[in-house]
Amino acid sequence: MPKKQTKTLTGAPVMKTTSNKLMPQVATDRSGHAAKEKRSGADRREENYSGINGNSDGSRRSSNPRRRGLMFSDNLVTVAEKSNFTATSTYRDVENFLIDLSSLSGDMTLHTFGKTTEGRNLYMAAFSRPQLYTPEHAVMSGKTIVLLQNNIHAGEVCPKEASMMLMRELVFGKLNQLLDKLIILVVPVYNADGNERFSTANRLSQLGPEGGVGIRTNAIGLDLNRDYMKIEAVETAALIENVYLAWQPDVIVDGHTTDGSRHGYDLTYGFPQNPNASKQLIDYTRDTMLPAVRAKIKKDTGIEMFYYGDFVDHTRPEQGWKTYSHHARYGASYGGLQNKISILMETYSYVSFERRVMAAYHFMRENLEYTFRHAAEVKDVVRTAVAETIKRGEKFDAKKNVLGLEIEQTAFEKSVTIIGYEVKEKRNADGSVGFVPTKTKKIYTAPYFGKYVMTRSVPRPLAYLLPKSEWRIAMKVQQHGAAVEVLLKPFETLVEVFKVISVAASEKCFQAHREVQVQVERVREKWQFEAGDYLIPMNQPAGNVIAGLLEPDSDDSLAHWNYFDNYLTGHLRFDKDFVTEYEYNLVDLPRTKEIYEHLIEKNPGLSDEQKAVEKMKFFNDALGYGNEFVNTIPVYRAVQPLHCSSLVTVVKPPHH
């Protein structure tokens, strides 16, 4: 039987449950907050109660919701709460919740920021005082902006449910006071198409909800949390353009549930891990903000939380605690490159759905309250990171101003204490020793492999240049908020050209791609650029992302995601047998044979290795397969100040 609920206007329902201390507490009012005339949102809501304001006999109740608990629409009780945490919300449930909540609030505006692959609206609720209807007004307000983004993996549903409870409390409860300093954006169900693919067979690796959940990917099989750099899903394009870039959140909390790491925490959390982001921003998020959030939650609720990760070896937990990848394809690290305090939230698969929802609720809530208490400090961290990124694009310094291309995971200097479980030895029938898990918790001391350092780097250029034919690459870079200019006149300058040394394509398909590892040599040459070519300066806020996209040997570059494969055909198509065949056929081409021997075969200045490379080039050209860009990626690094005429532009396909 579902547990009895008492619905009031003041926050989440009070539920008679064994874990009541974890439930958000309901106040009879907003702790005096709504009593102040300048905070008249409750009074404005009173005009819109639309029938729920009266008694059954038609008489009116008290018109002041601050003096009593007021019954409200059933849509404002989440499916998780109504089902006693055995079910989760459909897209329509979330939509109805948002529509009803917006009708009752003078501090909320409801927005769509795009559509899904299947045409569903992508909803975002914005909470502010006074109400703000456009992102321009939000940015101009100077307030600190927080985004709570949930359900990117639609089987990981507890953050979705928790975010609705939080939104209700932002309107009716104590959290409304946060709007004095903050603008709060909430996307409760980002992967809306995946959310609708309900099945009780999905996510059986987690405890509940028994009624089933959606799937990990969007409607065409793309994992949206691997799409931040390449932006190939319509959902990703909409999120980055119409939320990240338009509203410019300072803090982003991205809600998930773990895939199965076994530890003693109801929730683990992460921070930007790519070392090409601002060190100050990474350090503040990891070492100041998140430990404070964790400590406050532990003090107030007793819920244990820690840095996201898994034991290196479950049979020997003391060997280490290891986090996930630094790649910018993931939301938290991408947010760091975009100068955001970007936080990963992962609830624990092996506790009940109710406990996961409440852990997510308290984590998001405390991140909001921390940001409220430190609003100016948080804003300053973000502004400093932006200014630092711009400044790094203004000066070429081969020693001090570098980009990390190869990143290595390592342990922090100090070990950490981690809640895990005891492991018992088990002697098998053949005499070998195995290990079995137990349910007895144990504290381990272990190194924390959560630090990423650059092991190979190159100087950060002043700009990148592209030929006008590469408008698709310019458009892709522009999707990330980068300013792109078009040259108005021809000019010549010293640049570094990418010469391809080797190419290795993955055997398996991932995210609709066969990932490519490219090795390049950066060669300095004088290069002539024409009117209409593209110039992408690095002294702009998106500089970290620009470099990650355009350096071919960066691990999330556009070259890595196959955007330059058309220039790599020399290596991808031909091999040594190709050269052997055409060397043999030279007997029928005496003039060609003479040129070939003079330039390559009998050239004393070439080593055997160099001859092999030059043979490939020679026969490519001789057969007509060669062009000026074969095995030379047409992206150019500016290494000295540019003196050219250019115009900031919006890149569009030719003849658009």
User: What is the enclosing helix (H) or strand (E) of 406?
Assistant: strand 402-410
Distances (CA, A) of 157 to 2, 7, 212, 362: 20, 23, 10, 15
Report the Cα–Cα distance between both ends of the chain, in Å, rounded: 60
Exposed, middle or buried by CB within 10 Å (0-12, 13-18, 19+), for 502?
A: exposed
Over the stretch 571-588, which tens digit does the pLDDT of each residue have?
Answer: 444 455 667 777 778 888
pLDDT band of 431, cuts 50, 70, 90: confident
Average pLDDT, integer, range 480-502:
96
Q: Is the pLDDT of residue 31 over 70?
A: no
Query: Percent of the chain, pLDDT > 70?
Result: 86
Over the stretch 270-318, which tens digit does the pLDDT of each residue have?
Answer: 999 999 999 999 999 999 999 999 999 999 999 999 999 999 999 899 9
d(CA 505, CA 518): 9
Exposed, middle or buried by CB within 10 Å (0-12, 13-18, 19+), for 510?
A: exposed
Lowest mean pLDDT among 340-349, 369-378, 602-611: 602-611
pTM attached to this predicted model: 0.86
Number of separate helices (H) and strands (E) present in the chain: 19, 24
Q: The tokens 């990990």 sit on which residue?
A: 216
Q: Is the pLDDT of residue 605 over 70?
A: yes
Handedness of CA 620, 623, 628, 634 (dihedral sign): negative
d(CA 251, CA 371): 8
Q: The tokens 């439930």 sit on which residue?
A: 23
Collapsing DSSP to helix, strand or coil, 532 comes out as coil
State residue 428's pLDDT score: 87
State residue 228's pLDDT score: 98
Over the stretch 350-404, which tens digit does the pLDDT of each residue have?
Answer: 999 999 999 999 999 999 999 999 999 999 999 999 999 999 999 999 999 999 9
Is-contact 564 536, C-beta < 8 A? Answer: no
State residue 41's pLDDT score: 40
Q: Work out the angle at residue 258's Cα, subtended by the Cα atoms of residues 561 and 164, and round it to the nearest 5 degrees.
A: 100
State residue 429's pLDDT score: 85
pLDDT band of 518, cuts 50, 70, 90: very high
Average pLDDT, integer, range 217-225:
97
Reference 123, options 105, 137, 111, 107; nearest CA is 111
Is-contact 116 91, C-beta < 8 A? Answer: no
State residue 437's pLDDT score: 82
Average pLDDT, integer, range 413-421:
97
Is-contact 178 372, C-beta < 8 A? Answer: yes
Is-contact 345 547, C-beta < 8 A? Answer: no
Average pLDDT, integer, range 514-538:
96
State residue 619's pLDDT score: 79
- φ/ψ of 564, rounded to 5, equals -120, 20
Q: Is the pLDDT of residue 570 over 60?
A: no
Q: Is the pLDDT of residue 335 over 90?
A: yes
Lowest mean pLDDT among 107-116, 380-389, 495-504, 585-594: 585-594
pLDDT band of 118, cuts 50, 70, 90: very high
d(CA 529, CA 478): 20
Reference 404, options 451, 447, 343; nearest CA is 451
pLDDT band of 71, cuts 50, 70, 90: low
Q: Is the pLDDT of residue 18 over 90?
A: no
Query: Percent of the chain, pLDDT > 90?
Result: 75
Higher-pLDDT residue of 586 and 148 is 148
Is-contact 132 126, C-beta < 8 A? Answer: yes
d(CA 284, CA 278): 10
Helix 375-392 / helix 543-550 crossing angle, nearest 10 deg = 50
Q: Is the pLDDT of residue 265 over 90?
A: yes
